[in-house]
Amino acid sequence: MSRTRRSEGPLTPVLRAYRQARGRAEDRAWAEEVVLTLVREEVSPQPVLEELRDALPLVRETGEGPAELYGPAPEWAAGRLADRAERGMATVDSTPDARWRDVPVLGSVVACLVSLLMMLVWLLRDGWSVEVTWGLLLLPLLAGTGVVAALATWESVLTRRPVGIAAAAGLGVAAAVVAGLAWLLLGTRDAVLATTSTFSLALLAVGYALLAGLLERVLPQAGPRGAPSDDEAWQRELAGTLRLRLDLSEARVTEIVREARAHAARSGAGLREEFGTPASYAARFGRDRVARARRAAWGWTALVPVVVLLAVDRLVSGGGADLVSWVWVLFAVAVCWSVVAAWRHVRRERGRPQTA
């Protein structure tokens, strides 16, 4: 099998099949809109693939387009999602998105982007030359891997412990990364290796991109998660799925797990025999959209004092006239605008009917 085939996503073949079924691009566009709708609902790839595969044969048999057969893609996708929930079919999985295996890979990708951003900042601030230190060379990698490691810590702990503990663990990793970045910036600034063109940071970005590609090839892929071995493991996985994927409060998570345990005890069956996988049982419950929106809003809000202080400090130290200072001001304004938009989103979500 070719390298291109191996690099395709799981949904690419079925999207291509929609394009080939009648030879019309609008059929693939319909399928892509279904994917986008379900991705926005955070449905995992396998259920999306199953729904699109199930709908494709009728398109081939009748010669009619999916829009004529099934209606607009968003409405059809929402209907299929509701039907899966009623039948207790999994729409999410219990595996965190940020796996430890991906930390160095994604961290190197982020390091590539950070290197390019640093090049732009240095061009605006210092002009055409830059003093290269070990701190400057390693800062993008520490920043990239640190961000991904903090996310991986948050999700990994969240599958086993309440939100507060997961947040504390993720913030602890983030704090350690910030301390490391501060040391790289301040502790190595006098150990100049060379003075070179600022555009050499583009070469640093290329190096990190190549490192990401190498790590993706050599690091073993994570295997599928095994089924829970007993009722206790089943309960832990269900609780983790409810926290990670549905953003339910700890009180609601405890209530759902307790009800499942009580029902299984009355029937005399094990939890897996009674309810199937934890992910399929979790599909019976709606996502707490208000909680998710509120957490995002608080996250943006927490950035405001940091960004404003940095902008004010830059204005004062730069005399208020340099371009970098005004870039910081615009960034602070953008963050404040995002805070307003995030809290408006919370209000909209409160007005939406919440599923049970």
Please, which pLDDT band fits residue 327 given cuts at 50, 70 and 90? confident
Is there a contact between 263 and 303 (Cβ–Cβ < 8 Å)? no
Give me the pLDDT at residue 8, please.
55
Task: Give the per-residue pLDDT at 279.
Answer: 84
Q: What is the pLDDT of residue 133?
A: 84
d(CA 320, CA 91): 52
User: What pLDDT score was predicted for residue 35?
Assistant: 92
Task: For 238-257, write each residue's pLDDT tens digit.
Answer: 999 898 888 888 899 999 99
Q: How confident is the model at residue 319 (pLDDT cuts 50, 70, 90)?
A: low
pLDDT tens, 160-205? 888 889 989 988 998 898 888 888 877 777 778 888 888 888 999 9
| Res. 344: pLDDT tops 90 | yes
* 188: DSSP letter: S
Find, among 265, 239, 272, the residue nearest to 254 by Cα: 239
Q: What is the pLDDT of residue 354?
A: 56
With 70 as the cut, is the pLDDT of residue 2 above it? no
Burial of 322 (0-12, 13-18, 19+ CB in 10 A): middle
Q: State pLDDT tens for residues 57-107.
A: 999 999 999 999 999 999 999 888 888 877 777 788 777 777 888 899 999
Q: What pLDDT is stored for residue 210 in this prediction?
A: 95
Mean pLDDT of 150-159: 90
| Predicted confidence (pLDDT) at residue 46 exceeds the cutoff of 70 | yes
Residue pair 81/43 in contact (Cβ under 8 Å)? The answer is yes
pLDDT in tens, 216-230: 999 887 766 666 778
Q: What is the pLDDT of residues 11-34, one digit of tens each?
A: 889 999 999 989 889 999 999 999
pTM of the model: 0.75
The residues, any chain, with a CB within 8 Å of residue 49's CB and separated by 6 or more, are: 10, 11, 14
* DSSP code at position 263: H
- How far are the Cα atoms of 42, 164, 290, 321, 351 from residue 247, in angstroms, in the given order? 12, 13, 9, 45, 18
Concatenate the DSSP letters of all residues of 66-78 into one string: HHHHH--HHHHHH
Q: Using pLDDT thresholds of 50, 70 and 90, give the confidence band for residue 215.
A: very high
